[in-house]
Structure 1
Amino acid sequence: MSGVKKYEISEPWLKLHCALGEAPFWEESTNTLRFVDVEKQELHHVSLADGPSSHKVVKQHDISIGCTADIEGNDTEFIFGGKYGYGICNRQTGEYRWIKKVWSDEEVKAGKPDRFRGNDGAVDSGGRFWVGFMFDPLVSEMNDEGAVFKLHPDGTLDRPLSGITIPNGTTWNQKDDTMFFADSPFKTIYQFDYDAKTGSVSNKRPFFVMPKDNRYGEGAVPDGHCIDEEGFMWTALHGGSRVLRISPKGEIVAEIKVPTSQPTCPCFVGEELVITSAGGNAGEGGKPVDENAGSVFKINVGVRGLKRFRFKGGAAVEGGKEEGKVVGE
């Protein structure tokens, strides 16, 4: 651990008790932070200019949203990966519509839409939206029947990865020739060769494996992550009270101690990292697991993040016009 830079956050930036705070996203056009509470099915907004006092729950939905992304040429809506597939949501009102379901007819008959939900995801340089789907812990036991789907700008869908348990942290390196992806229960972040032109992946191998000495706790697993402009990864450790900075060689070079046990996902806002967390109702009697569980944290780390790409699917977005229904299949 020699040479590892240490940061420490003393208190939340935004004191909340999210059950599963996730998917922090900086809307640069409005200088707004949006994030979700997956289990409470809430969409949250905070003006970064006005600070925590501007926080509001835009909408409590009737479905869960796992991740979101901006849309090219559209600053009034965003695309999301949610309970049944891909949808479009109005930034101001939270109203949504479905544009693509992900499961096959056979899988629908087997009840997968009810037993699974969208989790983490991101848009690649080609404007394709990757979303990992996992068992829904509220209705199903842990299993490896999850998958990662990829929605193309023309509305077509494919399934690059299957046999997934808990998908987290889809990102790409600066050269755009490597994709990173975590399957959390395996305590491993994987890397793949990535073809930016076609969006295909191959040659799966480990990039980072949690230390065997359990220095961050036996239950600590890699959760969401992001990449900075120097090519280093910042990954939350759910169950480990940390966010780690990992070098392109897969080595820990810095760690942020977070005052809660379940940080879930970091995202860059300029040179600051904003970090969501979980556990707001996971303690005894539905109480928080610790004082700051489910809060949002912020810290300056002196480096900016790689830009996040927008979904380029004008055709796919325009194809879904029916409120609350799955279209564009």
Structure 2
Amino acid sequence: MIPNPAYAPEAWQTVTSHLAALGESPFWHPHEQLLYWVDISGKQILRANIDMGTVEAWDLPGEPGCMAPAASGGLVMALRHGVFRARTWGGPLQLLARLDYDASHMRANDGKCDALGRFWVGTIDETRSLNNAGLYCIDARDLAQTGAAQVRCMINPAELPATTANGLAWSPDNQTLYWADTPSHTVWAWDHDQNSNSLRARRVFASFKTQPEGWSSNGLDAGNGGYRGRPDGAAVDVQGNYWVALFEGRRVCQLAPDGSLLAEFAVPLQCPTMPCFGGEDLKTLYLTSARHHRSAAELAAFPLSGSVLSMRVEVAGLPVNFFQD
């Protein structure tokens, strides 16, 4: 299939003037009609009323790598030192689980809930040298009876060395799980049996050209040496297409279920981080971005860095999955 030409950056609109240091983990809350996202470096959860143009910020005691809405109200979130439950916006945090990593140099990163309401959390090695990131599943559906959430490591470094967990998503039939290691420039896919919660038949779903030596982050080198970014966060539409943000690549790619490129959407900033689908018809694509640790030249060239963008698309996305406890 011949991919469509890149859509122009002008297709995007700015959702809010609020600039996050490291925006991530966006989701559209269908009951509240609000857009949620996190600022990892800023240690905040944010939510916006798109119609009113207002943004609320919730300061947290640690970096929120990811979060999801809960079916019984509030949020579940993965902070540096554990997975927590908040029953209300800005309310007290209840510790659900601690993950097996050294918080002095590791933290939670990309994650979301599966269709059965289990919270999946990937981790990141901040030293970028140990290849010991993993993917965990936190199941709190029997919390009232057992008194504790069940934690399983679903992907560990012994089977797949990784540094930065990203790109987590499921196919519409929930039988395929996607997961990426950003520094490896690779997205993998597994067959996922939800009932037994087992993964098998790992294969490369998509790979992207690595960053060439000497590549500059001055905001002017997109495409230099063939490098056009590395896979960050992702979302899936109702047709099973995988939408992934290419960090440092100024683009979002739409990949078919077989991994082939269907279309790419140019973005008016260097570092998009994660898309999600929202709005009443789930045909608005929202996109978070980063400005933390980016060069002054890049920020001058791309003043929208750190903002949330939106764009209308032709195919609806899958709705957010709610945490069950």
Same fold (TM over 0.5): yes
Please report how far the alpha carbon of residue 4 of structure 1 lies from its aligned counterpart in structure 2 after TM superposition: 1.4
The total of aligned residue pairs comes to 298
2:103: which partner in 1?
Answer: 113
| 1:91 Cα deviation from its structure 2 partner | 4.6
Output the CA distance in 1 between the equivalents of 2:87 and 2:155.
29
Alignment correspondent of 2:26: 24
Contact 2:3 2:261 in 1 (8 A): no
C-alpha separation in 2, matches of 1:79 and 1:289: 36
* Number of the residue aligned with 1:323: none
Q: Secondary structure at the match of 1:113?
A: coil
For the residues of structure 2 that align with 1:216 and 1:96, how far apart are their CA atoms? 44
Instruction: Tell me which residue corresponds to 1:199.
Output: 197
Residue 76 of structure 2 is aligned to residue 79 of structure 1 = yes
Question: Residues 161, 98 of structure 1: CA spacing in aligned structure 2 closer, same or farther, 3 A cutoff?
Answer: same
Please identify, of 226-235 and 113-122, the stretch whose mean Cα deviation from structure 2 is larger: 113-122
- Partner Cα separation in structure 1 for residue 315 and residue 272 of structure 2: 20
Name the residue aligned to 1:132: 122
Q: Which amino acid aligns with 1:236?
A: A
User: Aligned AA for 1:177?
Assistant: Q
Give the Å deviation of 1:94: 5.3
Give secondary structure in 2 for the equivalent of 1:248: coil
| Corresponding residue to 1:99 among 96, 99, 118 | 96
Q: 1:1-329 counterparts in 2 under 5 A?
A: 2-10=2-10, 12-50=14-52, 53-57=53-57, 59-72=58-71, 74-75=72-73, 77-93=74-90, 95-103=92-100, 112-136=102-126, 140-152=127-139, 153-154=141-142, 155-163=149-157, 164-211=162-209, 216=223, 218=227, 220-269=229-278, 270-280=282-292, 282-284=294-296, 290-312=302-324, 314=325
Could you tell me how far apart the structure 1 residues matched to 2:128 and 2:193 are? 35
The whole-number CA distance in structure 2 between the counterparts of 1:257 and 1:219 is 11
How far the C-alpha of 1:56 sits from its partner, in A, is 2.5
Letter in 1 for 2:277: F
RMSD: 2.3
CA contact 2:41–2:292 (8 Å) conserved in 1: no
Please state how far the C-alpha of 1:129 moved relative to its aligned partner: 1.1
Aligned in 2, Cα 1:116/1:264: closer, same or farther, shift over 3 Å? same
Q: Please say if residues 17 and 280 of structure 1, whose CA atoms lie closer than 8 Å, have aligned partners that are also in contact.
A: no
C-alpha distance in 1 between matches for 2:267 and 2:122: 26
Q: Structure 2: any 5+ residue segments left out of the alignment? A: 143-148, 213-221
Letter aligned with residue 56 of structure 1: E
Q: Is the 8 A contact 1:226 1:235 kept in 2?
A: yes
Structure 1 residues 90 and 278: CA distance shift in structure 2, 3 A:
farther
Contact 1:280 1:287 in 2 (8 A): no
The offset of 1:147, in angstroms, is: 1.1
Q: Structure 1's 216 and 13: CA in aligned 2 closer, same or farther, altered over 3 A?
A: farther
CA distance in 1, matches of 2:314, 2:37: 23
Determine the C-alpha separation between the residues in 1 that align with 2:69 and 2:305.
28
1:39–1:303 distance in 2 versus 1, CA, 3 Å: same
Deviation of the 1:210 alpha carbon: 1.2
8 A Cα contact 1:124 1:309, kept in partner: yes
Secondary structure of 2:108 counterpart: strand
Deviation at 1:195, TM superposition (A): 0.6
Structure 1 pair 5–271 and aligned structure 2 pair: CA distance change class (3 A): farther
State the shift of 1:7 in Å.
2.1
CA contact (8 A) 1:9 1:297 kept: no
TM-score normalised by the chain length of structure 2? 0.85
Unpaired runs of 5+ in structure 1?
A: 315-329
Q: Compute the displacement of 1:192 (Å).
A: 0.5
SS in 1 for 2:6: strand
Distance 1:196 1:226 in 2: 19
Shift of 1:290: 2.9
Once the two structures are aligned, what percentage of the paired residues are identical? 26
